[in-house]
Amino acid sequence: MSKQNQIPEVDIVVDEKAGVIREVKDERKLRSKSGHERRVNTAIYVILVLMSVIWLAPFVFLVFQSFRSYALESGGMVNYLLPKTWSLDNYRWLLSGESNFIRWYGNTLFIAIFCAAIQTVMVLSVSYALSRLRFKGRKLIMNTVLVLGLFPGFLTMITLYFLLKQLGLTQSGAIPGLILIYCASSGMGYYISKGYFDTIPKSLDESARIDGATRFQVFKKIIMPLAKPIVIYTVLMAFMAPWGDYVFASYVAFGSEPNYNVAVGLYRWVNVNDYQGYFTRFCAGGVLVAVPITILFMCLQKYYVEGVTGGAVKG
Amino acid sequence: MKKILALVLAAAMLLSMTAVASADYSGDLKIWVAEAVVDFTKQAVEDFKAAHPEYAGMTVAVEPVGEGDAANNMITDVEAGADLYVFAQDQLARLVAAGALEEVEPSNAERVAAENDAGSVGAVTLGGKMYAYPMTSDNGYFLYYDKSVVTDPTSLEAILADCEKAGKNFYMEINSGWYQTAFFFGAGCELTYDTDDNGNLVGCNVNYASENGVKALKAMIKLAQSPAFVNGSSFSTATNVGAIVDGTWDANAAMEAFGENYAACKLPTVDGFQMGGFGGFKMLGVKPQTDDDKLAACDALAAYLSSEEVQIARYNERQWGPSNLNAQKLEAIQQNPALAALADQLQYTVPQGQYPAEYWSLATGLGDDILADKLDDADDAKLMEVLTNFQDTAISYANK
Amino acid sequence: MTDLEFLKLSGPAKTAWKIGDFFRRLPGKIAGGCKKLGLGVVSLFKNFGLNIADLVQTFIHGDWKTKLSYLVMGFGSAARGQWGRGLLFFLFQTVFNLYMVNFGVAYLAKLNTLGTIETYKEGRRTVYGDNSFFILLYGVLTLFFVLAFIYTWRMNIKQNKISEQILKSGHKLKSTKDDLKSLADEQFHKTLLALPTLGVFVFTILPILFMILVAFTNFDATHQPPSKLFTWVGWDNFRQLLSSDTASYGNTFKQVLFWTLVWAFFATFLNYFLGMLVAIMINKKGIKLKKLWRTILVMTIAIPQFVSLLYVSKMFAADGLINSYLLKWGWISQPIPFWTNAHWARVTIIVINLWIGIPYLMLIATGILMNIPADLYESARIDGANAFQMYRKITLPYMLFVTGPYLLSSFTGNINNFNVIYLLSGGRPLSLELSGNAGYTDLLITWLYKMTVTDTNYKLAAVMGILVFVVSAVINLVVYNMIPSVKNEEDFQ
Whole-number pLDDT of residue C9: 65
Q: Spell A240-278 as b/e; 16+ CB within 10 A means b.
A: bbbbbbbbbbbbbbbbbbbbbbbbbbbbbbbebbbbbbb
- Under an 8 A CB cutoff, do B240 and C319 touch? yes
Whole-number pLDDT of residue B159: 95
pLDDT tens for residues B223-277? 999 989 999 988 877 888 999 999 888 888 888 888 899 999 999 999 989 999 8
DSSP C325-362: HHHHTTS-SS---TTTSHHHHHHHHHHHHHHHHHHHHH
Q: Which fold has domain C250-489?
A: MetI-like fold (1.10.3720)
Measure in Å the smallest separation between the Cα of C164 and chain A Cα atoms: 24
Higher per-residue pLDDT: B4 or A92: A92
Superfamily, domain B24-138+281-339: Periplasmic binding protein-like II (3.40.190.10)
Measure in Å the smallest separation between the Cα of C141 and chain B Cα atoms: 22
pLDDT tens for residues B29-76? 999 999 889 999 999 999 999 999 889 889 999 999 988 889 889 988
Q: Is the dihedral of CA C235, C241, C242, C246 positive or negative?
A: positive
Name subunits touching C (3+ CB pairs < 8 A). A, B
Query: For chain A, which domains are there?
Result: 1-62 (no CATH), 97-314 (1.10.3720.10)
Whole-number pLDDT of residue B11: 56
Mutation target for A interface from C133, C260, C303, C402: give the one with most A CBs within 10 A.
C303
- Under an 8 A CB cutoff, do C192 and A155 touch? no
- Under an 8 A CB cutoff, do B253 and A276 touch? yes
Measure in Å the smallest separation between the Cα of C236 and chain A Cα atoms: 19
State yes or no: pLDDT of C392 exceeds 90.
no
- Under an 8 A CB cutoff, do A74 and B256 touch? yes
Question: Which chain C residue's Cα is nearest to B198?
Answer: C222
Question: Which chain C residue's Cα is nearest to A298?
Answer: C295
Whole-number pLDDT of residue A8: 37
Using a CB-CB cut-off of 8 Å, the residues of chain A touching C416 are 152-153
- In chain B, which segments carry CATH 3.40.190.10? 24-138+281-339, 142-276+356-399
Looking at chain B, the whole-number percentage of residues with pLDDT higher than 90 is: 56
Report whether the peptide linkage leading into residue C429 is cis, meaning its omega lies within 30 degrees of zero: yes
Interface of A with B in 74-113 (CB under 8 A): 74-79
Residue A51 contacts C, CB cutoff 8 Å: yes
Higher per-residue pLDDT: B238 or B286: B286
Residues with Cβ within 8 Å of C151's Cβ and at least 6 positions away in sequence, in order, are none
Residue A168 contacts B, CB cutoff 8 Å: no
- Under an 8 A CB cutoff, do C461 and A155 touch? yes
Report the alpha-carbon distance of residue C207 to residue A181 in Å, rounded.
12
Whole-number pLDDT of residue A298: 87
Measure in Å the smallest separation between the Cα of A192 and chain C Cα atoms: 11
Looking at A28-37, B11-20, C121-130, C412-421, which range is the least confident one? Answer: B11-20
Whole-number pLDDT of residue A202: 86
Residue A142 contacts C, CB cutoff 8 Å: no
Arithmetic mean of pLDDT, B119-139: 89
Measure in Å the smallest separation between the Cα of B311 and chain C Cα atoms: 27
Report the alpha-carbon distance of residue A170 to residue A166 in Å, rounded.
9
pLDDT band of residue A234 (cuts 50, 70, 90) is very high
Measure in Å the smallest separation between the Cα of A41 and chain B Cα atoms: 43
Report whether the peptide linkage leading into residue C226 is cis, meaning its omega lies within 30 degrees of zero: yes
**What residue segments make up the domains of chain C, in order of their start?**
1-50, 62-234, 250-489
pLDDT band of residue A28 (cuts 50, 70, 90) is very low
Using a CB-CB cut-off of 8 Å, the residues of chain A touching C486 are none
Question: Which chain A residue's Cα is nearest to C388?
Answer: A7
Residues with Cβ within 8 Å of C19's Cβ and at least 6 positions away in sequence, in order, are C478, C482
Using a CB-CB cut-off of 8 Å, the residues of chain C touching A305 are 363, 366-367
Interface of A with B in 171-210 (CB under 8 A): 171
Using a CB-CB cut-off of 8 Å, the residues of chain A touching C452 are 154, 157-158
Arithmetic mean of pLDDT, A98-115: 94
Using a CB-CB cut-off of 8 Å, the residues of chain A touching B65 are 254-255
Arithmetic mean of pLDDT, C459-466: 94
State yes or no: pLDDT of A61 exceeds 60.
yes
Using a CB-CB cut-off of 8 Å, the residues of chain B touching C221 are 75, 94, 97-98, 357
Whole-number pLDDT of residue C229: 92
Question: Which chain B residue's Cα is nearest to C319?
Answer: B239
pLDDT band of residue B4 (cuts 50, 70, 90) is low
* Least CB–CB distance from B371: residue in C319, C429, C456: C429
Residue A315: count of CB within 10 angstroms of its CB: 16
State yes or no: pLDDT of A30 exceeds 60.
no
Residues B369/C342, Cβ–Cβ less than 8 Å: no
Report the alpha-carbon distance of residue C335 to residue C5 in Å, rounded.
55
pLDDT tens for residues A117-142? 999 999 999 999 998 888 988 999 99
Q: Please provide the average confidence, as pLDDT, over all residues in chain C.
A: 87
State yes or no: pLDDT of C12 exceeds 80.
no
Looking at A10-24, B8-22, B324-338, C140-154, which range is the least confident one? Answer: A10-24
* Least CB–CB distance from C448: residue in A152, A271, A304: A152
Superfamily, domain B142-276+356-399: Periplasmic binding protein-like II (3.40.190.10)
> Which residue type does B87 have?
F
Residues with Cβ within 8 Å of A245's Cβ and at least 6 positions away in sequence, in order, are A178, A182, A261, A263
Pairing of strands B269-270, B84-88: unpaired
- Under an 8 A CB cutoff, do A305 and C367 touch? yes
State yes or no: pLDDT of C82 exceeds 90.
no
Residue A105 contacts C, CB cutoff 8 Å: no
Report the alpha-carbon distance of residue C340 to residue C426 in Å, rounded.
12
Report the alpha-carbon distance of residue B374 to residue B387 in Å, rounded.
14
pLDDT band of residue C10 (cuts 50, 70, 90) is low
Measure in Å the smallest separation between the Cα of B250 and chain A Cα atoms: 8
pLDDT band of residue C421 (cuts 50, 70, 90) is very high
Q: Please provide the average confidence, as pLDDT, over all residues in chain B.
A: 88
Whole-number pLDDT of residue B338: 87
Report the alpha-carbon distance of residue C149 to residue C145 in Å, rounded.
6
Interface of A with B in 247-266 (CB under 8 A): 254-257
Q: Please provide the average confidence, as pLDDT, over all residues in chain A.
A: 84
Residue C194: count of CB within 10 angstroms of its CB: 12
- Under an 8 A CB cutoff, do B230 and C119 touch? no
Q: Does residue A174 sit in helix, strand or coil? A: helix
State yes or no: pLDDT of C485 exceeds 50.
no
Residue C270: count of CB within 10 angstroms of its CB: 17
Distances (CA, A) of A282 to A75, A77, B69, C142: 9, 11, 20, 47
In degrees, to the nearest 5, what angle opens at C-alpha C221 toward C-alphas C218 and C225? 75
Residues with Cβ within 8 Å of B203's Cβ and at least 6 positions away in sequence, in order, are B193, B194, B398
Using a CB-CB cut-off of 8 Å, the residues of chain C touching A223 are none
Report the alpha-carbon distance of residue A286 to residue A296 in Å, rounded.
16
- Under an 8 A CB cutoff, do B76 and A254 touch? yes
Residue A143 contacts C, CB cutoff 8 Å: no
Using a CB-CB cut-off of 8 Å, the residues of chain B touching A171 are 80
Whole-number pLDDT of residue B16: 47
- What is the dihedral angle through the alpha carbons of A260, A266, A271, A273, rounded to the nearest 10 degrees? 80
Listed residue (A183, A174, A154) closest to A253, CA to CA: A174
Residue A170 contacts B, CB cutoff 8 Å: yes
Report the alpha-carbon distance of residue C84 to residue C30 in Å, rounded.
48
Measure in Å the smallest separation between the Cα of A76 and chain C Cα atoms: 12
Residue C462 contacts A, CB cutoff 8 Å: yes
